[in-house]
Structures are given as C-alpha cells and as structure tokens.
Amino acid sequence: MDTTPGFLHNASVRADRANDLDALIRALFARRHLRSSGAGSQQQMWMVAEFVQQLRKRSAVFKRISSKMEGPIPFGLGHCTVKDGALVPVARPLPLHHPEVFARVVSEFVEAGAVCYVAPPDASPHGWRIDGVDTLIPLDTEALKQVDTSLET
C-alpha cells in the first residue's frame, strides 16, 4: 500500500490519554516490525484481527471507523514517540497510509490545536487542525502556507 508523506505539529499529549497513546505507539511499532518479518499470510490475517481488537480497546475513534476484524490502521503512529509531553514524529516525513484516519485517531490523544499536514506527490498539499476528539478543521490556504514555512526550518 502506498503512503503519503505527512507531518504533525504542535501535538501536545492529553495527560489523561498518555498511557493509551504510549501503548498504541508500541503496538503499532511492533506490528510494523512483524509486517516486514515475512510471516505467512494465514498468520498475518490472525495478527491483523488481533491487532485491530487491540486498537479498538484503546481508541474510541478507531472503534467507530473500523470493523471488529479490520480497519484502516493508522500505522503512522508507529513512527512517533512521546517526548516532553508532545507527540513527535521520529520519521520525517511520516509515512501515512490513511492520513485522515491518522489525524482522527491522533485527535483522541492530543490537545486541540495540533496540525496534521500531508503533501501527496500527485495532489495539492492539505491538512487539518485538530479541534477536539474526532473533530478536524480543514486547513485554509493561509494555514497551509504557514505549515509549509515551518517545514522549511
């Protein structure tokens, strides 16, 4: 599956969700590793179903947008860490499979005001400001310019 280059800014972690976020990051990182280990397809199907259940337990947003056995998994979280109370990408850019799903799931764990921005190679850059749990506000032209400028520094 193709990824879209993504960026995350100003993502202060909500203290009441820090433990669940940390567990999700660790699970997504481990799952990313298992995905590249060459496990057989039957084993992978079992792991995906188990993994989706794990995500659904930690994230109400993911639970709403997934089924019991599958869903658009926000693997981008496996490329992040929590540092000094902020969700920080360890990859630049973040490889996002489903950028809006990533932003929606992240919205459950960070304070309002965080920005998720994507720069697809075959489309115009776009993104969202997180305004609350599962509430995304599309970035306008001026906000996109500000994000572009901050990426250059």
pTM of the model: 0.87
Two structure tokens written together for 121: 């190679």
Task: Write out the residue range of the structural domain in which residue 89 sits.
Answer: 4-152
Tokens 């906000």 belong to residue = 143
Could you tell me if 61 and 105 are in contact, meaning their C-beta atoms sit under 8 angstroms apart?
yes
The string of pLDDT tens digits covering residues 74-109 is: 889 999 999 999 999 999 899 998 999 999 999 999
Q: How many structural domains comprise the chain?
A: 1
The string of pLDDT tens digits covering residues 34-51 is: 444 454 565 555 577 888
Q: State the pLDDT confidence band at 1, using cuts at 50, 70 and 90.
A: low
Q: What angle do CA 59, 13, 69 make, to 5 degrees?
A: 15
Average model confidence (pLDDT) across the chain: 87
Find, among 3, 7, 4, the residue nearest to 153 by Cα.
Answer: 7
